[in-house]
Homo-oligomer: A and B are copies of this chain.
Amino acid sequence: MGEEKNKSFQLSCPAPLSGHATIQLAHGSGGKLTGELIQSLFLKYFDNELLRPLEDQARLTLAGTRLAFTTDSYVVDPIFFPGGDIGELAVNGTINDLCMCGARPLYLSAGLIIEEGLAVSDLERIIHSMSRAAANSNVVIVTGDTKVVDRGKADRIFINTAGIGLIEHDYCFSAAGLRAGDKILVSGNIASHGIAIIAQREDLGLQTPIASDTASLLPLVNSLVTTYGAGIHAMRDATRGGIAAILNEFAASSQVAIRISEAAIPIAPPVAAACELLGFDPLHVANEGVMVVAVSPEFADTALEQMRRHPLGENASLLASVESCDRAVVTLRTRFGTERFVDLPVGEQLPRIC
């Protein structure tokens, strides 16, 4: 499965770094340039069978114990925003990456890079927020590191969290696991996180303040995995690159076509309005508490109902269908009945979103 995914990824990214001599913001976007960077540098030098599947977490077996292991750095600007802050994001993001393969998140590390001059009260607020988020998901922060860099050499605070989870079942949820006929559910309103950040950063002064959707998806995942087990084929939280990036990865890894119905995209009206205003495609905007789940068709309706009954899935929707195809694509059927391709984001419209 890893092999297959890797191959399809390479086919779509033939040109190493597209000839860029320097790193661009878009190399961190989760879109096309990120894929090229991964292929032309990270897989070239680090290649091994555990990294190769390029899921959001590595799955390891140590002395007979099956683990998930993941890392993410958070550089969000601003560090405090409606609905959350960098600390909560750093903890919940890593919890989400662990639970997307069905692992039970247990232990986190925290690596802080702080710019000289950060207010101690701001740091305390962030640490407090990390501790609350960890406690909410029953994980503990067991090891850490703090570096301080001189003023002007970082931006207030960057946080890395790595995490270990225990895999206690034999299900294999994977981007390469989709089959023709599968239905893809989305757990909630999309694009709220990205728009909350940009509205705060650019001081858009929206009439209705928009809050980030940042959340630990663990309770919702637990509920679904317990009920549907192997009926779930893939799960992924739709962070950088948004729904479009995840579905393109699913399509490429599984060599299927994914057809989104525009009418089924859940989005809060003020977020939709802000996207319109700013010229963003909501499918490209980052979420921090929204997941997509590909399930066997026979479970689609009941899984959707179950999601909607859950506080984290009130706005869940049956977003897309999976079809067999000659070519891995993601398309959108618009409200007007036309169909268009949904590509990976190419540039970086929203840097430092997480």
A interface, CB within 8 angstroms of B: 17, 20-29, 34, 37-38, 41-42, 45-46, 48, 50-51, 57-58, 60, 62-65, 67, 69-75, 77, 106-107, 109-121, 123-124, 127-128, 130-131, 134, 140-150, 152-155, 158, 160, 162, 164, 166, 348, 351-352
Report yes or no: B46 in contact with A141, Cβ–Cβ below 8 A: yes
Report yes or no: B51 in contact with A146, Cβ–Cβ below 8 A: no
A-B pairs, 6 with minimum CB distance: A28-B148, A162-B162, A71-B109, A58-B142, A160-B160, A45-B131
Question: What chain B residues lie within 8 Å of A48 (beta carbons)?
Answer: 140-142
Complex CA–CA separation, A20 to B142 (angstroms):
26
Report yes or no: B28 in contact with A69, Cβ–Cβ below 8 A: no
Given contacts A69-B164, A140-B51, contact A116 B24 (CB under 8 A): yes
Instruction: Please give the distance in Å from A97's CB to the nearest CB on chain B.
Output: 9
Q: Which residue of B lies closest to A27 (CB)?
A: B148
Question: What chain B residues lie within 8 Å of A50 (beta carbons)?
Answer: 107, 140, 142
Interface of A is mostly: mixed
Report yes or no: B28 in contact with A114, Cβ–Cβ below 8 A: yes
Across the interface, A65 reaches (CB within 8 A) one of B64, B109, B127, B153, namely B64
Complex CA–CA separation, A119 to B143 (angstroms):
32
Given contacts A23-B114, A60-B107, A140-B48, contact A71 B155 (CB under 8 A): no
Question: What chain B residues lie within 8 Å of A131 (beta carbons)?
Answer: 45-46
Instruction: Please give the distance in Å from A68's CB to the nearest CB on chain B.
Output: 9
Instruction: Please give the distance in Å from A64's CB to the nearest CB on chain B.
Output: 7
Instruction: Please give the distance in Å from A92's CB to the nearest CB on chain B.
Output: 15
**Which of A145, A149, A351 has the most C-beta atoms of chain B within 10 angstroms of its own C-beta?**
A145
Question: What chain B residues lie within 8 Å of A119 (beta carbons)?
Answer: 21-23
Instruction: Please give the distance in Å from A95's CB to the nearest CB on chain B.
Output: 15
Instruction: Please give the distance in Å from A147's CB to the nearest CB on chain B.
Output: 5
